[in-house]
Amino acid sequence: MTSYQLMFSDTGHNWKQYRQEDSIGSFPGNSNADSVVQYKLQQPVVARFLRLIPLDWNPNGRIGLRLETYGCPYTSDVVTLDGSSSLVYRLNPGSRRAQRDVIALKLKTLRNSGMLLQAEGREGLGLRLELDRGKLLLLFSAKTLSAEPQRLAALGSLLDDQHWHHVAVELHGLHLNLTVDKHTLRVKIPPQFHHLDIQELSVGAVQALGSHKPFHSKRNFHGCLENLLFNGLNLIELAKVKDHKVSLVVSLINHPDLLLC
C-alpha cells in the first residue's frame, strides 16, 4: 500500500478523517515489503479505533500492510449529562480572586442546542456558553441591564457531530479569548462586565431563578464532558472525591437517545 487515508473513532461507528495542517488527507506508504515508513501526527487524536482506507498500492501484488501505532499517556475524567443533570462549583466566600480565569473542557453531543455553562459573579453579572444550531455562543448578562443576555460572539460549527470538541474561555480584565478546537476568537468585553469576579460555575443545566437546583428543560445540555477545568482544578475529579465545593446532580431517568461517552 503506497498511499492511504487515516480514520479514527471512539465508538467504532462515527468515523472522522485525520487531516494534516495543510489539509492534505493522504499519507505515504512504502514501496516494498521491507522498508519502514514512520509518520508522526502533527496533531494528536484521542481514539479507540483506527481505520485505514487504501488509496494506492503496488499493481504487481495485493494490498498489504504491517502497522504499529504508538500512543502517549492521557488522563480522562468524563461525566454524562442528560438535561436534568448538572455540576456546580462554588468558590469559598472571601477566596482570593485569580488575575486570570480559565475554563477548559471537551464536549461531545448529538443535540445542536443547549445551555453548556454559566458562570455567575458579583452584583448579578454572568457569563454563558450556549450551543445554538451547532455553534457555540458567548453571552453576558446583568440583572441591572436588560433581562435578555447580550451576545458577544459565536464560534464553531457542527458541534453536534458526536465527536469530541475542545472549548476554552480565558478571561482577563476587559479581554476574553474564546477557543473552539483550533480556532480562537478575541473578544473585548463591555466595561459594565469588567468586574465579573466568578463566584459560581454551573455546567449542564439551567439554574432556576433564586435556587441552586437545576430544572429539566430542553435548553439544558445533553451529552458528555471530559476534563472540565477551572483555573487548573479538575471539577469532575473533585466531584468524584466528594469535595464540598462541587455538587454533582445526576438524574436516574432513562433517556433512549442519551449519548454514551
Q: Indicate the pLDDT class of residue 223, thresholds 50, 70 and 90.
A: very high
Instruction: Residue 233: name the closest of 119, 120, 91 by CA.
Output: 91
The whole model's pTM is what? 0.79
Q: What is the rounded average pLDDT of the residues 198-222?
A: 68
What are the sequence ranges of the domains in the chain? 3-56, 78-249
Cβ partners under 8 Å of residue 154, min gap 6? 132, 135, 136, 137, 138
- For residue 143, the model assigns a pLDDT of 67
Cα angle value 194/198/201 (rounded, 5°): 140
Compute the Cα dihedral for 202, 204, 208, 212 and give only its sign.
Answer: negative
Class of domain 78-249: mainly beta
pLDDT band (50, 70, 90) for residue 174: confident
Name which residue leads in pLDDT, 155 or 85.
Answer: 155
pLDDT cut 70: percent of the chain above it: 84
